[in-house]
Structure 1
Amino acid sequence: MGTMLLAMAMVAGQPATTPESLTIDLKTPTVSVPRSLFGVFFEEINNAGEGGLYGELLMNRALVPAESGLPQGWAGTEGVRFDASSKLNAARAGSLVIPRGGSASNLGFWGIATRVNEPLKGQLWLRGAGQVRVSLLSAEGSHASNVVTLRVGSTWGEHSISLVPTRQANNLRLNIEVVEGREVHLGYASLSPRKVFKSSEGGLRPDLAQRVDALKPGFLRFPGGCYVEGNDLSNCFDWKSTLVDIEQRPATPRTFWGYISSNGLGYHEYLLMCKDMKAEPMFVINCGMSHSEIEPMATMDRYVQDALDAIEYANGPVTSPMGALRAKNGHPESFNLKYIEIGNENGYTWAFGGQAPYYERFALINKAIKARYPEIITISNVPVPQPGDLTSEHYYDAPNWFWRNKDRYDTYDRAGQRVYVGEYAVTRANGRGSLAGALSEAAFMTGMERNADIVAMASYAPLLENINNRQWNPNAIVFDNHRSYGTPSYWVQKMFADHRAQRMVKQTLVAGIGDPPQVEGRFGFKTWGTACEFKDVSISINGQSRYQSALPALSDFDDIRGGWKVEGGVLKQTDLQDNLYAAIKGVTAQAADNWVFEFSAKKVQGREGFMALAAFQAQDVGIQWNLGGWTNTIHAFERDRNRVGNAVEAGIESGRWYRVRLEKRGAELIGSLDGRVVETLREEGAPSLASSAGVDTSRRELVLKLVNGAERERTLELRGLPLSRQWKGEILTADSLMAENTLDQPNLVTPRPWPVQAGTSVTLPPRSLVVVRIPLTPGEVRPYLGVQ
């Protein structure tokens, strides 16, 4: 362990006044960096696939019925109805019945987008003697394409159509009108662009697929995420049912994320996506655990067999039943599935079922896989007693956490298990995806590069978001039905992909620590899984009373989440959900202010205590003094929901009134309960400079990645670099750390060339990720050759 650590990047934190420097030892290669280090993770969330990456234009093409009325996504004239007794096949729940003179329309995923003369292809499954006309209609009801006339027979038949748009629009709908006969039954419908990404069978929307492909993913993890587990085992991802033609595939009426999936993006299509993007496939399988249900060990055979069959379908010879099915589906060649992750976020202490059920289910499935397919790399969700090849780690947090953890892998035990950082992103204090979050992720990624002997793989999450159904924030790629953009985090991923090194170089970074975070913002209360009451509130700033009320009114608050009400002489929060708060209106403290915030609080019921909010700026952004947190075991300060300072082991009693006092005196926060000081906090600054150095052997260049998270430019002394060469640079920066891209302004924060001169120092602009490429001689590259 010690020898390896000496060869790794050395990083030292110094006071801000110390000259900052980066020393490169080109004669000392360190760790090899596989192409698989950075990949992508696709999850069916945010309508990422259904209504996104998968090119289908019709919402609920499978006609999953609603509780009443027509299926979601469909509208009809008078007399159009859903008939559960008329089914195309056993996978369907019924059909739409359209009477003569009536019509049914599909509104698409928040409208159907078209371009003039870019044809769409469709399939309709119809029965009932008659004639129908099919076209695209505008919101006003005028034709926006050619009209296709179909003769319908008395038995179910598939009808292929081609629609050529006559206008560019984003809010069209598909219209099916019965013009002859008594009535016609629609059993299934599909409409998609003829223009798709690479494999026509994959059916991917080109602009979104090209954005993903531009990341040059070393691997692709699919299809989730919580989508794999499901709310219960009945709605987890059933990959085998997706191996048939689309009209025969059972739909998922309600995925974990609450919307319908027609399962057009199935196991075979995922594997085609991996092939088209030259990404090694990683399939996440259900391990018999969901968010509310666990399969008994006595009946786990199905899940074991599903895992084995998934590998055989992807990789097996065409002489095997599963390999023959793959060939029948159009792909006799192996897909070269390389990774199997067994479960998703199972085995955590906070996850349903906890650790023990996951340990035994992982061991069972892993043993079966290794017995038949020893070459498959297996991944556990958490460290397990009988480990696989890799263990997964997931990190969602604030920018400061990523900065403070940029070197976390420097000290990992080299004799321990290697890591797959399967999900990571800044999800707090990051707007809808800002430069601040992206730069802190970049800092974290430099640490993963420098420690690629420990971090085998990593993938940002989530990948895609339909802006009409944002269920997670932020995401790498945001889109509507005709546009898309990459968030700053996307561009960080792309810069790291464009500037891969095959082997890292020994480096020493001497960098200052930033200033402590400021304490400024508003005040309020917060609960977590607990009902509480509050009264007798006062706030004084710099000795002046700014708010005082024995019984706060709801009108005193302007940012409220939860079941807050005034009743019985107290302010009550009655909801037992997590992360519920109320921020007091119009009282804001500045960083230089001293203040005192006091109130009385009582826990009524629930699993935790209550919190005092200070420096509140938005949900999960600011300071909270958490009294009785972590299942009522600890009092602790938190910033952006990360624990800071020292914690005190203690809890909050139910039914008892406490007097809470939170005071800011200079740079110190002082927390008191019932007149007794419980704990104090004086925050320290976080790092704001990160680096990695590696050799791109294919281009014979040294690649430096430098991240400056500070609001000021900084000069970095450079040592050990070739000076008689022409350096090239690229930069990602903006005028504000909170700068974001949008659909209307997609390129506010994007990389651009950066002129850089060879020299013994470099001045990094504020708020920037910089990549510098320096040509090397054959002799300088030679020690780095022979690695992948």
Structure 2
Amino acid sequence: MKKYFLMLFAAAWCLPGMCQMEKVYTVQADKIKAHIEPTMYGIFFEDINMGADGGVYAELVKNRSFEFKMPLMGWKELKQDGAEGSILVLNGGKANEDNPRFIHVTSKSAGGYGLSNEGFHGMGIKKGDQYNFSVLAKLATPGVSLQIELINSKGEVMGSTSVIPASKEWKKYEANFKASATDPKASLKVLLKGKGAIDLDMISLFPQDTWKQRPGGLRADLVQKLADMKPGFLRFPGGCIVEGRELDTRYQWKRTIGDVANRRMIINRWNTEFAHRPTPDYYQTFGLGFLEYFEIAEDIGAAPLPIINCGMACQFNTCELVPIDQLGPYVQDALDLIEFANGSVDTKWGKKRAALGHPKPFNLKMMGVGNEQWGEQYIERFKIFEKAIHTKYPDVKLVSSLGPNPDGEVFDYLNTTFRKLKANILDEHYYRAPEWFLQNANRYDNYDRNGPKIFAGEYAAQSVAIGSPENKNNWECALAEAAFMTGLERNADVVHMASYAPLFAHVEGWQWTPDLIWFDNLNSYGTPNYYVQQLFSLNKGTDVVPLLLDNKAVEGKDGCYATASIDKTTHELIIKFVNSTATTQNISFNIEGAAGYQKLAKVTTLRSDKKDAENSLTNPKAVIPVQSEMEVNGKLVKTAVEPYTFKIIRLKNL
């Protein structure tokens, strides 16, 4: 009797990890519950945290066109070896209203006078890489040339070249050089050689090694991290950037295409948003503009999802509105954008796209009207946009905002109203504590299957509080998001899109935490949250099938969450399982409706014993996926899921 009791105890509990008695889950592999849209998991991009300028947009010179409110911000006058001269900031006014300022530099010495640029918290330079310098120049005095030097943080020259302007009219001059050292905090010197004067504008420095080697392009390591996620869509350009603090600083897509020298720069709306992170030097140059956004989406196989302003500035700031009778230009911008993306080269905006180097249409299928708007004023404006867009482009799906919160009076009003209007896609946002995500994995279980589809447009677990500068991208938050995402996938007939937000953050230039990918001037890393997003995207399958415990969905019982799908393309069954507890879960999956599976299954495990574990620049692999294999006994899968673990099992059909 004693021996029997000990055996029973051992079957129920085991050390370490205090394994519980085995639970048997059922997977009904032949019963399709819902189709998973190719767009299910995607990317939300916004120029916050130096995500564009100083981030993925690879320009190294800050304030290259002298259009900041303080025209020489980022620049310093240089007087080497006692050289003398002067710098004047001139405004050309109507001659170029999009880029009116330039500098007039006069040298009174043979050499050594000029200016230097600090970059974005320094310039990240790599030894052996080539760098492309360019400048718009207009010669005032014959015989003046430019000496270009890349300086490391010790003041030593680590690369140089020269430019010899020869025209008294504005002309672009280019040169390149190789860096002799690596430094994350380099700076650029532009020195005049010879006595005389010259006008300068658009002083620029790019690495040659950009994404797809495009001149003046994007930072390759950051875009590669996006490509590695294989996202279903790319939402751009935001976010609150779309709205602007006031309408004058809203995002206007037509000003972001064409020659970068003529893209009208504006202050970034995150410039003064947070008292704890003032960023007076944060502007939008729009070097990363709408053509580039469409190209990135095309490059990484993501459906483009542009968001356009609906005639409302940010309601957290000025609440500025365009009168209804003046909304026409805003609506026309939306119609023209669809033509820019999809129109033939015979159309006005299709011809413009072709002239910019992309004659092939971008196949735009959806668009957001407004970002995080609410209230009767939003509904009134949305109706006008919807009628105009669907009259001309009935197949374009429109995304409607349900406001900044996942519940409450504002949410309820918008949700009820848009459902009555038979809206296409509803955009829900949730920045909440990890516990909220664990408790809401069943959020969509009872949503109307015949109503609008859901876009989980912005979400991230907040370790401290919403928008707190102390929030961390720790494993507890990432694991809670994984648990929540099993509910998104299980309800894929309702939820068609989901994206974490924000995407990028510079370790020295951020305003908001947490964020998916962090970087400095040379390196980058994915957070645990990044790997959760990536694993869901890489393992979504094509169709959801039931995964049950006691004939119920697995949505938090005993701290466990799960979903299953089949992939009709690869002929696999994919099981995702989250153990949010401190106890190892001994489990088995009894698979029904399948002929059987190959003996070895592929397993991906993302876990940490420490809920506060984080990745960092110095330890980027603290929490990363680990690949392994496990044996399968016909249609029975037995495994142990360790504490605080997200596990994916892929079984190949016989």
Q: Does 1:253 align with 2:253?
A: no
Shift of 1:360: 0.8
Report the CA distance shift for 1:511/1:729 in structure 2 as closer, same or farther (over 3 A).
farther
Shift of 1:388: 2.9
Distance in 2 (alpha carbons) for counterparts of 1:201 and 1:170: 21
- After the TM superposition, which of the residue ranges 330-339 and 377-386 deviates more from structure 2? 377-386
SS of corresponding position for 1:367: helix
| Alignment match of 1:119 (pick from 126, 130, 133) | 130
Aligned counterpart, 1:443 = 483
Cα offsets for 1:575-612 (capped at 9, x unmatched): xxxxxxxxxxxxxxxxxxxxxxxxxxxxxxxxxxxxxx
Distance in 1 (alpha carbons) for counterparts of 2:236 and 2:38: 18
Distance in 2 (alpha carbons) for counterparts of 1:729 and 1:483: 29
Q: Residues 126-165 of structure 1 correspond to what in structure 2 (within 5 A)?
A: 126-127=137-138, 128-129=140-141, 130-165=144-179
Report the CA distance shift for 1:766/1:431 in structure 2 as closer, same or farther (over 3 A).
farther
| Alignment match of 1:99 (pick from 91, 103, 106) | 106
Q: Which one-letter code corresponds to 1:279 in the other structure?
A: A
Q: Residues 121-270 of structure 1 correspond to what in structure 2 (within 5 A)?
A: 121-127=132-138, 128-129=140-141, 130-198=144-212, 200=214, 203-258=217-272, 259-270=282-293
Shift of 1:62: 2.3
Aligned counterpart, 1:396 = 431
Q: Does 1:336 align with 2:356?
A: no
Report the CA distance shift for 1:85/1:411 in structure 2 as closer, same or farther (over 3 A).
closer
Aligned counterpart, 2:16 = none
Aligned counterpart, 1:525 = none
Q: Contact conserved, 2:161 with 2:176, CA < 8 A, in 1?
A: no
SS of corresponding position for 1:37: coil
| Alignment match of 2:541 (pick from 455, 478, 501) | 501
Q: Contact conserved, 2:33 with 2:545, CA < 8 A, in 1?
A: yes
| Alignment match of 2:620 (pick from 746, 749, 753) | 746
Q: Contact conserved, 1:235 with 1:256, CA < 8 A, in 2?
A: no
Distance in 1 (alpha carbons) for counterparts of 2:183 and 2:530: 28
Larger radius of gyration: 1
Provide runs of 4+ in structure 1 moved above 6 Å: 511-514
Cα offsets for 1:735-778 (capped at 9, x unmatched): 2011000011111100011343325532101111100011113x
* Residue correspondences, number: 583
Distance in 1 (alpha carbons) for counterparts of 2:119 and 2:442: 47
TM-score by length of 2: 0.85
Cα offsets for 1:181-231 (capped at 9, x unmatched): 322222222211111212726711100000011110111000000000000
Distance in 2 (alpha carbons) for counterparts of 1:379 and 1:120: 41
Distance in 2 (alpha carbons) for counterparts of 1:66 and 1:300: 29
Report the CA distance shift for 1:200/1:188 in structure 2 as closer, same or farther (over 3 A).
same
Distance in 1 (alpha carbons) for counterparts of 2:251 and 2:598: 57
Shift of 1:469: 1.4
Distance in 2 (alpha carbons) for counterparts of 1:153 and 1:249: 24
Report the CA distance shift for 1:723/1:214 in structure 2 as closer, same or farther (over 3 A).
closer
Shift of 1:103: 1.4
Q: Which one-letter code corresponds to 1:161 in the other structure?
A: A
Aligned counterpart, 2:564 = 693
Distance in 2 (alpha carbons) for counterparts of 1:511 and 1:66: 63
- After the TM superposition, which of the residue ranges 115-124 and 761-770 deviates more from structure 2? 115-124
Aligned counterpart, 2:307 = 284
Q: Contact conserved, 1:477 with 1:487, CA < 8 A, in 2?
A: yes
Q: Does 1:484 align with 2:484?
A: no
Between Structure 1 and Structure 2, the one with more strand by share is 1
Report the CA distance shift for 1:480/1:686 in structure 2 as closer, same or farther (over 3 A).
farther
Shift of 1:297: 0.3
Aligned counterpart, 2:13 = none
Q: Contact conserved, 1:202 with 1:273, CA < 8 A, in 2?
A: no
Q: Does 1:368 align with 2:368?
A: no
RMSD over aligned Cα atoms = 2.3
Aligned counterpart, 1:84 = 90
Q: Contact conserved, 1:135 with 1:163, CA < 8 A, in 2?
A: no
Segments of 5+ residues of structure 2 without an aligned counterpart are 1-18, 80-84, 273-281, 403-414, 465-469
Distance in 1 (alpha carbons) for counterparts of 2:525 and 2:507: 11
Distance in 2 (alpha carbons) for counterparts of 1:724 and 1:136: 58
Aligned counterpart, 1:623 = none
Aligned counterpart, 2:609 = 735
Q: Which one-letter code corresponds to 1:732 in the other structure?
A: L
Q: Contact conserved, 1:512 with 1:687, CA < 8 A, in 2?
A: no
SS of corresponding position for 1:224: coil
Q: Which one-letter code corresponds to 2:395 in the other structure?
A: E
Report the CA distance shift for 1:365/1:695 in structure 2 as closer, same or farther (over 3 A).
same
Distance in 2 (alpha carbons) for counterparts of 1:147 and 1:750: 42
Distance in 2 (alpha carbons) for counterparts of 1:279 and 1:371: 26
Aligned counterpart, 1:527 = none
Aligned counterpart, 1:30 = 33
Q: Contact conserved, 1:131 with 1:181, CA < 8 A, in 2?
A: no
Aligned counterpart, 1:358 = 378
Distance in 2 (alpha carbons) for counterparts of 1:75 and 1:510: 70
Q: Contact conserved, 2:26 with 2:589, CA < 8 A, in 1?
A: yes
Q: Residues 544-563 of structure 1 correspond to what in structure 2 (within 5 A)?
A: none
Distance in 2 (alpha carbons) for counterparts of 1:202 and 1:263: 12
Distance in 1 (alpha carbons) for counterparts of 2:90 and 2:512: 35
Q: Which one-letter code corresponds to 1:49 in the other structure?
A: A
Q: Does 1:43 align with 2:43?
A: no
